[in-house]
A and B are shown apart, each in its own frame.
Chain A
Amino acid sequence: MDFRWEIVIEYLPFFMRGLGYTILASLIGFVVGAIIGLVIGMGKSLSNPILKLPFIWYVNIFRGTPLLVQIFLIHFAVMPIFIKPPEPLISLIVALALNSAAYIAEIFRAGINSIDKGQREAAYSLGMSHAQVLRHVVLPQAFKRMIPPLGNEFIVLVKDSSLGAVIAAPELFYWGKVAVGSYSRVWEPYLSVAVLYFVVCLVLSYVQSFLERKYATDDQRKKFKKVVRRARGAEGH
């Protein structure tokens, strides 16, 4: 089959630049989303039903509408109020941040709720304050459990950033579409773009499992490894 490599080569610099924007947009979107998500997650855990209402509805709205629709609304209706003229890349980042915040809020909430309440009770009985319990007992354990879903969310976000092409944010998929537009060939540009997304997401999933191992505190495996290493070292001498 004829695969025109020259199209890939010609557009590779644009794909790489697009990839840079893709990573930038998803990274900023994720970090900002995590900060907002933390606030929303805490808000949703409030005991006052009226105070927690806005946080519940934030999640309902952003999880209940398609990201694509949110991107259009944010770019054409919301951003023009703040920035004139609106910048597609910024609109994309804002959309990714607000959208991921809803999911991250749920991840935080689930992580915190998953810690047995006996842990909290024990800490309180030691005389720890509310903040201390959260900081030293609940969050360290909860964070470990949040790594897989957070990694998942980030990978989803990297791929979802391709929706920015509809408002001509110059990310990776946008340049794929441009190459298709100028050659009327779909195979070469879209396959190249897919490979680049795949490589990024693959690296990210390895980063995730590295973090999982690093923060693993149920030390069974680590202890076992240490024992094995020591035993081997002893044999060697």
Chain B
Amino acid sequence: MWAAALIAAAIPGLRAQEHVVRVTPAELTLAVGQKAQLKAEVVDVGGRPVDDAQVFFFSRARRAVSVSREGELLARKPGTHTVIARARIGGKRGPQATVTVTVPQPTPAKVALRGAPKQLYAGTTVRVQGEVLDENDIVRDDLSVALASSDAGIASIDAFGQVTAVAPGAFTLSGTGGGLTTESKIQVLANPVRKIDLTAAVQTARTGDVIRFRATGLDGNGAATDVPVHYSFYAAPDDTLGNAATGQIQQDGRFVAETPGLYTIVATCGDVTARTTVRCSQRFPQKKKLVKVGHGLVADAHTSDLWVWEGIDGRDYCVTGTWGANGDALFWDVTDPSRIEQIAKITVDARTVNDVKVSEDGTLCVISREGASNRKNGIVAIDVRDPRNPKIVSEFNDELTGGVHNLFIDQGHVYALSAGRRYDVLNFQNANAPSRVGTFQLFEPGASIHDVWVTDGVAFSSNWRYGVRLVDVGNGIAGGSPSNPVEFAKYAYPSGWNHAAFPFTSPDTGKFYVFAGDEAFPYGLNVENDPTYPRGWIHIIDFSNLKNPQEVARYEVPEAGTHNLWIDGTTLYVAYYNGGLRVVDISGDLMGDLYRQGREIAWFLPTHPKGKVANAPMVWGPQPHKGHIFFSDWNSGLWAVKLVDDKGRRR
């Protein structure tokens, strides 16, 4: 009963040595939803109550077990939780006692066998996963399920739940976990397949090309069956010098090679196999490279985003932001990319102008603000009809006071991030008097929006661990509009690094993808003196089925980290921070790791000895424009490069 007194914490400098808190009961077990009352008193060394002492309670896991200040407990979630009874003696902090509250997991209610078929053909394998569910149909992750076959001569099961049909007959598949057992009767049928017809869509291909193979099991009469066929391959790569894995095959028959060589695809059904071989050659025998055309050095501040546009005078311009500095937006004439010229600067009350965008007609620039001295950040609209004399026309900070990190302008509407978990849609058709017309917010607990990109009436937001959200803001697919944004598709991946998104409809396959970029700094960010080593990659998500998007491919440069991206035609441009600017071929079907497949066309590492961090590439954002690729570099400003054939070796 007085066990709590024994574990009363000693608080240095207080009267913990002289007094203890006694709690009744000292520990207890409660079911979810059950209540209990704790009682506490403070006693001296002789066990006598202390007159001027008071005890209050608090929980160190209030969402799992709550407690009133008077000690009434309510169990909410399973686990072992701690409640503190803390004393005040004479108005000062006194000793405390710890009460352990155990809330057991709900009772297991059933075992489910996921993936268990009704019948199998002999010689084929399926994977079955057993789960224990509680009375609320929630999986008990703390309990495992052991699978067993009633007749190993009919079907065998390995340690990973793979059930292989051995011979015709019936067997019982049982799953045991949490004190429960469930059974499933499975019939093993004789395998009618006597031959496999295996065809390849092509005989030769390039690395990175997705080749489709079709394998059909034929019975003794040559008729097609529905018996599943398993695909595998072996390779004879041209490069035999310690090469790593060389390709990837899916069980729907799609194969992609990463390195040049011969690839033999093997189709298996029971004891019947078929083979066919294809040759995959190097994707780009004619090498290309990116060459510097021009550079506008920014050495006194870090550079953030860029936007390049054709002005109403027909010349080409660019605006860049600044990061952790003086609130500047820099305007450049880039008509001749070899002579990039800074032509104007707008300074606003901010430390970071993280994002900059220009309207489709080239007349209005909007910039985001963070770090305003009056903490009314919001956005600033700038008339750029004459980019040499940009003029601030309005500010909008209503409900955007906490800072706008990213924004987008589309069809007279500005999409501005705020509060970390929503973007507001602002009508800027009259830039002198903007107004809020809509809002899109993530309501999931702890959800956070980082960026938004709008095209064809769809807003693609990037939301860290909540992934990519597709919202109708005028496309019509879900009845949405700028004043009524309607979400219609989403996809999230586990790392929680989703930072940017760019849509892409493949002209070759018709598939609709979203390329989702990571941002991650596991080794920190060096603002001065030293280079930075970010991580992350481009996730390629097939949204062709909006209800069931699939992450099908990636582009991952080793030892580097992604930031912003752009797609033009079938070319992907990636600002790969310390990995520089990367240009990637995304034609055809996409599967696997595009980097390893040799789809990268060229790369460029911008460095400058007078950069904010000297000689340290840190590419922030790319934008192709009229045959050149412009990009901003966090350490060295604005660059223009051009993709050319690599004519050969030189120093």
| A in complex with B | no
Point out residues on A near B: beta carbons under 8 Å: none
